Amino acid sequence: MRRKRREPGFDTLSIHAGQEPEPGTGAVMTPIYATSTYAQPEFGVDRGYAYARVSNPTRTALEKNLAALEGGAHGLCFASGMAAISALLGLLKAGDHVVVSDNVYGGVFRAFEGIFRNYGLAFTWTDTTDLRALEAALRPATRLLYIETPTNPVMRVTDIAGAARIARRRGVPLAVDNTFMTPVFQRPLELGADVVIHSTTKYLNGHSDSVGGALVLNDPALAEKLRFVQKTTGAVLSPFEAFLVLRGTKTLPVRMRQHEASGRAVAAFLAAHPRVKRLYYPGRKDHPNYRVHARQASGFGAMVAFDLGSLAAARRALNRFRLFTLAESLGGVESLACHPASMTHASVPEGRRNALGITPGLVRLSVGLESLEDLLADLKQALGR
């Protein structure tokens, strides 16, 4: 009797995909191949590696690992999330147009408006939670649809499958920044997206000790073009950082399950707190995009933002935290708190920020893996009665 081979489960992939014991010694962990070049056995022959900007075995292992987790055929790792995003824009040429979610990571706004606009690219910032607005923003010259869901920091949710249908009909590739959800909760390629973007700095590495980025996709021709950009512009992930992220992804599913359990509990606490004027968490039923998010993702994550109504109130709370560390970034084992308007989104003009909900009173939390009782106690004392 022949049996169909079972596909390995996600937790198994996170530990094993892309990684085999090292053939020379049997080392179970992929070594850090600290080398810039590779000996060629004879003239005109190499062993698949020629120069380390082009490829490195530690990086290759991570690229395969991330591709497997996102359900994609190709993974490419970069020196940062912004380097990955910049490589993606390296596919475009002067005159091309891009439709972008109006609320995205602040650095994306800075790069698109501060650098790529000067290269002759045009950007339309749109509320992509509204698919009609998204479709109306597309032009004949549109060559990329770029979304983030849920968004940083006000947690707006775009219907990925809906956006993918529109993009496909118009022949425009759809890129989705999946940093907040990770493939544990959301797999955009399975919903029809063409490229998935990650800042591995966040949950994938998960320990706040490296900076990196990745792109994952299925289309071989597009992957070829991106590999060309990657090796040519050279903002590649170092083997040491690749090793750290590989170590991180082994525990990604267990970390995310705990992050999410605590994230929900923190959101429930904040929802009931009298000082909280507004809460942003896609796992609350009163979130405007709750149903869309629940349909396309299997979890809600651990990023929670809330508005205390004024800069003074936000400053007071942020200065009173003892366990939550006042810092930018997110997705690490330790809980962080930040003030998006003056920190992560300072490069977004004030009027724009306020229109998006990134007000002076907004506080963003990355809920970590400390004991939940300790996190809630810290929130309670920081917010006061």
Ligand X SMILES: *Cc1c(COP(=O)(O)O)cnc(C)c1O
In the set 56, 60, 80, 128, which binds ligand X (CB under 6 A)? 80
Nearer to ligand X (CB atom), residue 105 or residue 112? 105
- Identify which range of 9-17, 93-101, 166-174, 176-184 contacts ligand X by CB under 6 A: 176-184
Number of residues that bind ligand X (CB under 6 A): 15
What Cα–Cα distance (Å) separates residue 219 from each residue in 63, 74, 120, 194, 197? 15, 8, 26, 7, 15
Nearer to ligand X (CB atom), residue 30 or residue 182? 182
- Smallest gap from Cβ 148 to ligand X, in A, equals 6
- Identify which range of 37-45, 124-132, 177-185, 241-249 contacts ligand X by CB under 6 A: 177-185
- Identify which range of 29-37, 172-180, 259-267, 272-280 contacts ligand X by CB under 6 A: 172-180
188 touches ligand X (CB under 6 A):
no
Nearer to ligand X (CB atom), residue 237 or residue 292? 237
State the number of CA atoms in the 13 A half-sphere of 274 facing the CB: 2
In the β-sheet with 195-199, what is the strand arrangement from edge to edge? 74-78, 213-217, 195-199, 174-177, 142-148, 97-101, 122-126
In the set 199, 205, 208, 262, which binds ligand X (CB under 6 A)? 199
What are the φ and ψ backbone dihedral angles of 145, each rounded to 5 degrees? -115, 120
In the set 121, 189, 211, 375, which binds ligand X (CB under 6 A)? 211
- The answer to whether 202 is a known catalytic residue is yes
260 touches ligand X (CB under 6 A):
no
Distance CA(55)–CA(239), nearest Å, equals 10
Nearer to ligand X (CB atom), residue 65 or residue 313? 65
81 touches ligand X (CB under 6 A):
yes
The tokens describing 206, both together, are: 């998960």
Spatial neighbors of 102 by CB under 8 A, at least 6 apart, are 125, 126, 127, 128, 356
In the set 148, 194, 307, 378, which binds ligand X (CB under 6 A)? 148
205 touches ligand X (CB under 6 A):
no
Of these residues, 143, 156, 187, 202, which one is catalytic?
202
Distance CA(144)–CA(85), nearest Å, equals 12
149 touches ligand X (CB under 6 A):
no
- The answer to whether 64 is a known catalytic residue is no
179 touches ligand X (CB under 6 A):
yes
Of these residues, 53, 139, 165, 231, which one is catalytic?
53
201 touches ligand X (CB under 6 A):
yes
Nearer to ligand X (CB atom), residue 52 or residue 303? 303
- Smallest gap from Cβ 275 to ligand X, in A, equals 26
- Identify which range of 42-50, 161-169, 175-183, 227-235 contacts ligand X by CB under 6 A: 175-183
Among residue numbers 85 through 144, which ones bind ligand X (CB under 6 A)?
105, 107
- Identify which range of 79-87, 163-171, 217-225, 242-250 contacts ligand X by CB under 6 A: 79-87
Of these residues, 33, 38, 105, 146, which one is catalytic?
105
- The answer to whether 53 is a known catalytic residue is yes
Nearer to ligand X (CB atom), residue 104 or residue 276? 104
177 touches ligand X (CB under 6 A):
yes
Partners of 37 in beta bridges: 51
332 touches ligand X (CB under 6 A):
no
- The answer to whether 105 is a known catalytic residue is yes
Spatial neighbors of 94 by CB under 8 A, at least 6 apart, are 119, 120, 121
Binding stretches for ligand X (CB under 6 A):
80-82, 105, 107, 148, 152, 177, 179-180, 199, 201-202, 211, 213
Q: Which sequence positions are flagged as catalytic?
A: 53, 105, 177, 202
